[in-house]
Chain A
Amino acid sequence: MDKIPILRMGAFLLVTIQVDLYDRLALNLESDLIQMVDKTRAKGVLIDISAVSIVDSFMGRIIGNIASMSRIMDAQTVVVGMQPAVAITLIELGLPLKGVHTALNVEKGMDLLKSMIDLEEEDEDQDLTEDDLIAE
C-alpha cells in the first residue's frame, strides 16, 4: 500500500505528493495528516502538489477538508505548486477551493505560513498586554 510521507520541520508539517492521487491514498493522507497535527502540535501544514497532474472533485474536496480540519486543530494549511493546467481544470469543474491558502512555491508557502503564525502570536501578545492593563 502506498503512503505519502509527512515530514516535520519545526512547528510545521511538510507533505510533498509525488504520485498521482487516487481516492484511497487521498483519504489515508487526510487522516494521517490530522493525526500528525495532533501528535506534533504543528502550527502549520504545507502541502506541495507540484508533481500532481490531476485533481478532480473528490481530491479537491479532500484538500479542502484537510484545510478545514487543520484549522479546527489550530493549524494553518497552505497548498503550493499547483500546475497551471490543474488550476484551469479545477475552476472549470466548479471547485474554486475556497478557504484554502495557496502559494506559488514551497518558499513562498513557508513565508506565508510563518507570517500567518507570527500574526497569531502578535495577537496573543496584545491580548496579554490588555489583560495586564486590566490587572493594573
Chain B
Amino acid sequence: MILSLSKDTIEVVKEQDVVFTKNRVKEVAVRIKMGLVNQTRLITAASELLRNMMRYANGGKCTIEVVSSGRTNGIRLTFTDKGPGIPDIAKAMEDGFSTGKSLGLGLPGTKRLVNEFDIRSNVGEGTTVTIIKWANG
C-alpha cells in the first residue's frame, strides 16, 4: 500500500522547464532526507525521462509526489505526454535500441536507477512513465 503525501505537477514545454523540474525533484529529495547517491540516481533518471518527453513528444507533464509505504518515504515521478506513443515497449526497454540517434540507454538505464518502474503507452495517444525511488532503498 503506497500513500501519497504531497503532489505537485509541472508543465514541461521548454528546456528551462527541464532544469526547473530537476531542481524541484532535488528540493523534494533533500526534504525527505534521501541519501546523496539515491538523489543522484533519481535526478539522473528524471533527466533521461524528461529528455525523452521533450525529444519524442514535444513536452508533457511531470508530477512529483512524496509517497509512503509505511516503513519508508520515497518520491514518485509520473511523466505523461501526448506524443506518438511507443509501438514496441519490450524493444524500447532493450539496451542499445533507439529510434533516434541516441545511445539507447535512456529507458533501460533509468529502470536500473530506480526501485519501481512502470511504462504504459498507446500508439497515437501518448506515453506515461512512473518511477519510484525510496529514500533509503
Question: Which residues of A come within 8 Å of B, CB atoms?
Answer: 20, 22-24, 53-58, 61, 83-86, 88-89, 92-95
Contacts and interface: CB of A to CB of B under 8 A. Distances in A.
Interface of A is mostly: helix
B103 A56 contact: no
B15 A93 contact: no
B109 A93 contact: yes
B36 A85 contact: yes
Contacts, number: 65
Given A22-B18, A24-B15, A93-B109, A88 B103 contact: no
B112 A93 contact: yes
B95 interface: yes
A22 B113 CA distance: 20
14 contacts: A53-B40, A53-B43, A54-B22, A54-B40, A54-B44, A54-B47, A86-B40, A89-B113, A93-B44, A93-B105, A94-B105, A94-B108, A94-B109, A95-B109
